[in-house]
Amino acid sequence: MDLLNRIKELGLVLPKAPKPAGVYRPLLIVDNYLFISGHGPLKIDGKLIVGKVGLDLDREKGKKAARQVGLTMLSSMVSNLDPKIKIKRLVKVLGMVNATPDFRDYPYVINGFSELMVDIFGSENGIGVRSAVGMSLPQNIAVEIEVMFEIFN
């Protein structure tokens, strides 16, 4: 699939691709797999969506933050991948929610990301296996997500 054309077709607005915040690669291709490091919810203005879901953000705002992570990740893909590389399917999602100890609706929050992937890649190729967990996150970001895609080389 032509990722850039699909993004334009859906009228999505992507933030600027973030630079690594440490010693790691934002994306890495091994064989026919694309691994994408954890991304946070970067807004168009360059600021991160921060706060704990269940305290600073309700579950709807958490879900919107997870969708924003997806837009940020798409920006990294468009900015860093050779356009000849095509995405075949989403394989694995690890969704991490910065949440209060009593908040438990992590899967609902991560659906914000997953629903965007279905919009981009379709229901067959945009849904993979997934984990959704709660924890404290760096810089108090609301959500962090890492993924693995299968690609055509």
Q: What is the CATH number of the domain that holds 55?
A: 3.30.1330.40
Asked if the structure places residue 3 within a domain, the reply is yes
Asked if the structure places residue 111 within a domain, the reply is yes
List all residues 6 or more positions away from 85 whose beta carbon is below 8 Å from its beta carbon.
29, 34, 151, 152, 153
Beta-strand pair 86-98/129-135: parallel
Asked if the structure places residue 22 within a domain, the reply is no
Asked if the structure places residue 24 within a domain, the reply is no
Asked if the structure places residue 112 within a domain, the reply is yes
Instruction: Please give the helix or strand (H or E) that residue 38 lies within, else none.
Output: strand 33-39
Asked if the structure places residue 40 within a domain, the reply is no
pLDDT (mean) for 101-127: 98
CA 64 to chain centre: 11
Q: What percent of the chain has pLDDT over 70?
A: 99
Asked if the structure places residue 68 within a domain, the reply is yes
pLDDT at site 2: 86
133 φ/ψ angles, rounded to the nearest 5 degrees: -130, 160
Total count of domains within the chain: 1
Q: What is the pLDDT of residues 16-69, one digit of tens each?
A: 999 998 999 999 999 999 999 999 999 999 999 999 999 999 999 999 999 999
Burial of 124 (0-12, 13-18, 19+ CB in 10 A): exposed
pLDDT (mean) for 68-78: 98
Q: Which pTM does this prediction carry?
A: 0.97
Checking if the pLDDT of 1 tops 70, the result is: no
Q: What domain range is 67 assigned to?
A: 1-12+45-139
Q: Which amino acid type is present at position 17?
A: A
pLDDT at site 20: 93
